[in-house]
Structure 1
Amino acid sequence: MRISWHRKIVYVLAIALSVLYLLWRVLFTIPWHAHLFTLIFALMLVGSEIVSNLTAFVLIIFRILESKKNHKLVIPKFDLSQPVPAIDVLIVTHNEDVALLRKTVNATTFMDYPEKYKVHIYIADDGNRPEVQQLATEYHVGYITMENNKKAKAGNINHAMAQLDSPLFAIFDTDMIPFSNFLMSSVPFFTTNWAQRVADDNETKPLGFVQTPQSFYNADIFQFNLFSENYVANEQDYFSRDVNVLNGYNETALFTGSNAVFLRAAIDEVGGFPTDTITEDFELGTQINMAGYTSLATTQPVSSGITPVDVKGVIKQRTRWARGVIQSCRNLHIFWNPRLSLINRIILINTYLYWWTFTRRLIYIAAPLLYALFKVQVVNANFWVLMIIWAPGYFLLHYVLSDASSKIRNERWGEIQETFFAPYLFIPVFLETIGIKAKKFKVTEKNVKFSFKDRLYILPYLFLWSMTLLAIIKFNYGKWGSEIIVGSVITFWLVMHFINLSFCLFVSMKRDIYRKSERFAREAPGKVLIPGTNRWARFTTRDVSEGGFSFEFKDQSIRMPQGQPFSGILYRHHHPIRFTSKVVRVVEREPVWYAVTINIEQARDQNNYLELIHDGDNQLLPKAQDNWITPLDELHMNVLMHLKNIERTLTSFMRQNS
């Protein structure tokens, strides 16, 4: 991302004005003689502002450094004049659904590599499940099991690695399905690094690992529950495809647990995967960096997994990540460890502070509520002085953050996501910080099971939303003219939080899931045997799923009625997939297209069909934020959608009781 010199001046000016504002806040606005509660909250508020600005400064400075170095990540090609390294591919599983595991195992067998006999695939199953061993036998891959594993995922991996010896090592979670180009998009970084080290060993550091993006083929909880599958990128894309790539430009990308390739020697040098934390990935990556190895993150997804869409599952997942990162930061002594480089220390501290974002978000929500409802003033400032000192820096900094951020996610959407997690993460982060650990953690459940208890997760948002609405009404009731102007800052923050909390209410409302499997946009050729004839008609798929696909005939004069059974052949890279099917829907548009079921009998054909589905990201989901759709547009759409749901429910109820 190139930044022109005049944009850099604006970036620096935004930082300067923000620093000036923070100095004013600390020196002139803290109510030192107020009640103890007020003083404590005032200090928490100003501390939150300082930390929020510092994390913003880090992003801006890293973006300027990226532009200065003119980084452009290009995947190198294999130098086939050099020996092709062997690689062990480890799929780690505990108690996940075998059907989900099958997709990942199947995909690993289709990965391209110059010398495929050097790719050794293993399933590491610490659950000792016979069905998993049978799966390994079916796909002719290795099966490594263990008993009495008390060291969780790290223990399972270390046990498996003790039996492997290839110079490179790739790791996948059960649900993270690699694309066929995974190895071709990651291993060449190592071979290139090795060649560079031979040419100049003193100037080239060894590459420890390559982290590819965490990508997901289903809509996440924000996309799905907010009816935003077409407008908003996955919430985790911002870190995986932007922030961590920036970390990689500084040779210290973070390991995020799956779909990464390691130099085996680097793992051995640091003693294997750490077992004293629940985020062994985060800690291992940093240990490798401290040992003198570099790490990088790529931008293009070369694998894809499934993300939970229920509130309970998402909250549990983030709680585990939050506690784990706090544990690992404590283990690594990130604030004073002499083995950490300055850049690495900044990245780790920034990561640590991220998990305090949710506490800061609650403080920001509470501050205007205290003043509007209870006249508790935590900032001593004249309105006009505040406008002169606060407003220019605040709005310019937010403009710069918007400009410096990628197109994946804008800042307003980030605030909504922070608000959603805030009520459930601030306590675990605080408890873990003072050394109170959770008793146990479970693997995040990917198969969604909704219950009445899930609806109770709405309560914190409903409480804060109600308080904010009450505060807006009470604070502005009966005010006119200059009173409204002077109180506009409080009203501004109340309205902003009210909008964010409204989104949180909608996210926490269950949206019915009708599809049994995800659809993927895929254009694959095929042919249909027209029923009652010996004639074959060619078609091209529009999208595919595990339950069926949709297609268009090349010859639009051909018609099949709904309910028509038929047989046909699909092609994946010239590999025929024989199937039987039935038309379940005919869409009379231009061109006419058909939605059909699919039934495949042969195992080889089934494997090829699974690969057709999962070899590539889900192009039906956006990779960037649609900035033409504003939060108000989204809010309006969600109100309408939920009103329609209420109308349908009432209509159905009246029909049943009429």
Structure 2
Amino acid sequence: MSPGPAGAGRPAGPPSGAPAAAALALLVAVGVSAAFPLADENQFGLALALLLAMGAAGRLLSRTGDFGRLALILLGGYLSLRYWAFRTFETLAYTGVWDVIFLLLLYLAETYGIATHLIGLFVNVAPLERRPAPLPADPARWPTVDVLVPTLNEPLEIVRITLTACVQLDYPREKLAVFVLDDGGTAQRLNDPDPRRAAAARERARKLRELAASLGVHYRTREHNLHAKAGNLNAALGVAIEDARGGRTAPARNPGLGESHPQEELLLVLDCDHVPTRDFLRNTVGFFLADERLATVQTPHFFINPTPVEKNLGTAGESPGENEMFYGAIQLGLDFWNASFFCGSAALLRRRALVEIGGLVEDTITEDAGTALRLHASGWRSLYLNKAMTMGLSPESFDSFIIQRSRWAKGMIQILLLHNPLRLPGLSVAQRLCYLNACLFWLFGFARLIFFLSPLMFLVFNLRVYNASLDQVLAYAVPHLVASYFVSNRLYGRFRHPFTSELFEIIQSIYLIPAVLSVFLRPRAPRFRVTPKTASLEQDTLTHLATPFYLMLLLNLLAFCAGAILYLNRPVLLDTIAICLCWNTFNLFLVVCCLGVVWERRQLRRTHRITPREGGHLVDRRRGTRVDAVLRDLSVTGAGFEIADRAPLLSGRLELEALDSSGRLHRLPLRLVRIESFAGGVRVGCRFEDEDEAVRRAIVDYVYGDSARWKYFADLRQVREVGTVRALVRLTATGIRASLRHAAGLLRWVAGRRIRGYRRAA
């Protein structure tokens, strides 16, 4: 859906009045009819007919648009509701204390999965595609903007690149100010009791001040590190800070220290590793002129590097990136219900809206979602523009990946407990469901653990965790599973392949369960932990978080042995044994993939490269010769090209001439460092000569400034959807390859230790 240029800022939402009542009545009728009992053979026939109808609707989805999408969702949701009614009314029988404990646990896990699946379908019933909002022809009518870049302890080179891009944003200079908010240079950190930490903080703060001054950026810090990123931004904005006792500390008692504080109409918030493109403000500011009650415009977080899961499995480029599902599909669905989230970065906010609600929310470590919830509850609107205009960094090790996801999980459960969206005044019903879904999602760890243990409970301990015959499984459970995967694949297949969610969830579950439990016990206790950046590994290595997955593998193998023994002793249970063994086999595939993930692959580069395929020219600065070249890899340190002839480039002092998508000509000095031949010509490796500050700015502008380049890569990552069976085969093959690499690495490590031991003994 698209609101069109004239409606770029128009709030979207559900129908009202009679159409809404009719839709609600239809949904109630569908839900009630899902509970009607049928004989197993009749249910099987109904399920088969509905699955065939879903197949037809799926094939016609591109032609029927929203109608076909709604039909697919209703048919799939109906099959899932019938399965849940069957589980609720026909399978919950008491056969023993331990039986009923694990039976109820499995039932609750399934109920949780079905509920989140159905709410997710509701959220994405009509995703809203927007186009950038035009700005008035007269720049005098454009609002003023402050760019806020909070930082704590990140490498200064990362901060330098982001600040350099910020000062080159395509916006009138007199209407733009850039601030770096240094929480690593607070008075609290500069006077740390540990002399080494205090000295390191002082040195970093000094260098960051010098960097800010060289770029024309305002430097600000504060007295105390209260409430992490939210407190940092609030101190800069001059709003009160919540203290440790739950009271409010006036800005005068936790002042922002440094140059003038941000005071313009709009605020662009960027994490210090999120580099903006030149056109960010030109594509987003216009929305605020069209809607006075608009509080936030969120844009996607585009990451230049794969997550550790994708890197270690080797799936980057073969399947969509892990964040594509949220930023490419879910946020568009949320936008329809006026519930798109502020995600902490790459977002433009109205200062007046933030001040009205008392600043960013400080009592949750996911301050972004908490702030969005409070804004929506106060009657402000949000929207989502699905155009990548920042480039960031994903976590680069499995450890840092778990740190990040644990923070997200804790923060969203804090929101559920402290600001329950079902009870918070001011929200629409749709907004309540959207926020509830976002919070409940992070309970997946409990469900994943139960799904892993349930077949083991029957095969090893002979506990009756599921009271159903094979005919009932085929009539109810199988159609529900087929419908769920089919709907998900048809709606989100370009953004996430089947079984990818299961893999990402099971690999996080072991570590998120204790994190979530800690929040239920002490909702206000979690503390913000910054995700480490720029990790490097000189060689492949085993993460220290691998141990639980070895245990899970042993349990899987034990279940197969127990199943064989159970069949020999009780062959009458063949149907149930076969179902549990199939279930256990699926779990084994996931565990094999997990073992591939926890074997960290080496990463030597400190700066990530992108792989465009763009035309340009290489000019020999000494000879004046000029040759056509194809840009094949690019970073802020250098570039790689393919050319047809090496003769004109022997001098080694080169210049790149290239046009970007807007027609701007870039000229950048290069030094030749490598030449190698290949079948189609010559590959040339070059390093930028960036001793001059003006050249460094030009390099950042060329590498990061063109949003069309990020669109090209975003489109590449949204590969074609694949079928469920093919996805399972591909995932299994990927997991086996990664696990074999894991095993080979362990053997090399053991052999290396023995050899070193022999040498020491000799």
* Normalised TM-score (structure 2): 0.78
2:155 alignment partner, one of 97, 104, 108? 97
Match for residue 83 of structure 1 among 141, 154, 159: 141
Equivalent position of 1:460 in the other structure: 548
Alignment partner of 1:32 is 2:120: no
1:478 is displaced (CA, Å) by 8.4
Q: Deviations over 1:499-553 (max 9, x none)?
A: 111111111111111333211234363433287x554445342221233211133
Q: Does 1:513 align with 2:513?
A: no
Unpaired runs of 5+ residues, structure 2, are 2-63, 186-204, 239-260
Counterpart position of 1:62: 123
Give SS of 2:303's match: coil
Aligned 8 A contact 1:581 1:598 in 2: no
Q: Distance in 1 between matches of 2:107 and 2:86?
A: 11
Q: Retained in 2: the 8 A contact 1:577–1:605?
A: yes
SS in 2 for 1:521: coil
1:156-211 CA distances to partner (integer Å, 9 max, x unpaired)? 111111222211111011111111121122111112224xxxxxxxxxxx111011
Shift of 1:458: 1.1
Pairing 1:147-546 to 2, within 5 Å after superposition: 147-162=223-238, 163-194=261-292, 206-435=293-522, 438=525, 440-448=527-535, 455-476=543-564, 484-522=574-612, 523=614, 525-529=616-620, 533=623, 535-546=625-636
Matched, 1:16 2:78: yes
Alpha-carbon shift at residue 571 of structure 1 (Å) = 4.6
**Structure 2 vs 1, CA of residues 333 and 516 (structure 1 numbering), >3 Å: closer, same or farther?**
closer
1:484–1:185 distance in 2 versus 1, CA, 3 Å = farther
SS in 2 for 1:539: strand
CA distance in 2, matches of 1:425, 1:107: 36
Matches of 2:744 and 2:108, distance apart in 1: 47
Amino acid at match of 1:465: L
Sequence identity percentage: 23
Deviations 1:249-307 (A, max 9, x none): 21111111111001111101101112222111111111111111111122121101101
Q: Using the alignment, how far apart are the partners of 2:688 and 2:321 within structure 1?
A: 29
What is the alpha-carbon distance in structure 1 between the residues aligned to residue 743 and residue 557 of structure 2? 23
Pair 587,117 (structure 1): closer, same or farther in 2 beyond 3 Å: farther
- Number of residue pairs aligned between Structure 1 and Structure 2: 636
After TM superposition, the structure 1 stretch with the greater mean CA deviation from structure 2, 219-228 or 536-545, is 536-545
SS at match of 1:549: strand
- Cα shift readout 1:78-115 (whole Å, capped 9, x = no counterpart): 122571111111111112111110010011122112x2
What stretches of structure 1 of length at least 5 have no aligned partner?
195-205
Residues 299 and 620 of structure 1: CA distance in aligned 2, closer, same or farther (over 3 Å): closer
Report how far residue 134 of structure 1 moved: 0.7
Tell me the distance in 1 between the aligned counterparts of 2:68 and 2:180.
54
Tell me which residue corresponds to 1:41: 102
Per-residue deviation at 1:240?
Answer: 2.1
User: Residue type matched to 2:730 in 1?
Assistant: D
Alignment partner, residue 53 of structure 1 = 114
In the other structure, the counterpart of 1:623 is 717
Q: CA deviation at 1:366?
A: 0.8
SS of the aligned residue for 1:307 comes to: coil
Distance 1:389 1:439, change over 3 A: closer
Q: CA separation in 1, counterparts of 2:90 and 2:425?
A: 37
Contact 1:231 1:626 in 2 (8 A): no
Does structure 2 conserve the Cα–Cα contact (< 8 Å) formed by 1:31 and 1:378? no
| CA spacing shift, 1:7–1:164, aligned 2, 3 Å | closer
Counterpart CA distance in 1 for 2:273 and 2:647 is 39
What's the TM-score once normalised by structure 1's chain length?
0.89
Over 3 Å counting, the alpha-carbon distance change for 1:635 and 1:530 in structure 2 is farther
User: Hey, what does 2:669 align to over in structure 1?
Assistant: 578
Structure 2 distance, partners of 1:548, 1:27, is 65
What is the identity, as a one-letter code, of the residue corresponding to 1:189? F
* Residues 482 and 64 of structure 1: CA distance in aligned 2, closer, same or farther (over 3 Å): farther
Moved more, 314-323 or 612-621: 612-621
Deviations 1:436-494 (A, max 9, x none): 65564421111226699962311111211221122134314685998655533212211
Cα distance, 1:655–1:527 mapped onto 2, change above 3 Å: farther
1:120 is aligned to: 177
* 3-state SS in 2 of match to 1:173: coil
- Change beyond 3 A, Cα 1:436–1:329: closer
- The equivalent of 2:37 in structure 1 is none
- CA distance, structure 2, for counterparts of residue 483 and residue 559 of structure 1: 76
In structure 2, do the counterparts of structure 1 residues 440 and 74 end up closer, same or farther at CA, with 3 Å as the change threshold? closer
CA contact (8 A) 1:17 1:393 kept: yes
What's 1:611 paired with? Answer: 701
Question: Cα deviation per residue 1:409-435 (whole Å; 9 max; x = unaligned)?
Answer: 034111111111111001211221232
- Secondary structure of 1:137's counterpart equals helix
CA distance in 1, matches of 2:433, 2:748: 55
Alpha-carbon distance in structure 2 between the residues aligned to 1:4 and 1:207: 26
Q: Pick one of 133, 136, 142 that aligns with 2:218.
A: 142
Alpha carbons 1:552, 1:592 under 8 Å: kept: yes
Q: Would you say the 8 A contact 2:317–2:717 is kept in 1?
A: no
Which has the higher mean CA deviation after the structures are superposed, 237-246 or 137-146? 237-246
Of 1-10 and 231-240, the range deviating more from structure 2: 1-10
Secondary structure at the residue paired with 1:355?
A: helix
Between 343-352 and 6-15, the greater mean CA deviation after superposition: 6-15
Query: Considering only aligned residues, what root-mean-square deviation do their CA atoms show, in Å?
Result: 2.9
Deviations 1:570-612 (A, max 9, x none): 4563242223232x24141214322233332222112211222
Report deviation, 1:650.
Answer: 5.1
Q: For structure 1, which segment, 182-191 or 644-653, has the greater mean C-alpha deviation from structure 2 after superposition? A: 644-653
**Could you tell me which of 551, 562, 581 is aligned with 2:641?**
551
Q: CA deviation at 1:234?
A: 2.1
Contact 1:585 1:596 in 2 (8 A): no
Instruction: Provide closer, same or farther for how the CA distance between residues 358 and 576 of structure 1 changes in structure 2, counting only shifts above 3 A.
Output: same
Q: Compared with structure 1, are the counterparts of its residues 545 and 9 closer, same or farther at alpha carbon in structure 2 (3 Å cutoff)?
A: closer
> Quick check: 1:241–1:298 contact (8 Å CA) kept in 2?
no
* Range with greater deviation from structure 2 (448-457 or 161-170): 448-457
In structure 2, the residue corresponding to 1:430 is in which secondary structure?
A: helix
User: Against the structure 1 CA distance between its residues 269 and 453, is the aligned structure 2 distance closer, same or farther, given a 3 Å change threshold?
Assistant: farther
The answer on whether the counterparts of 1:517 and 1:545 sit within 8 Å (CA) in structure 2 is yes
> C-alpha separation between the residues in 1 aligned to 2:755 and 2:227?
56
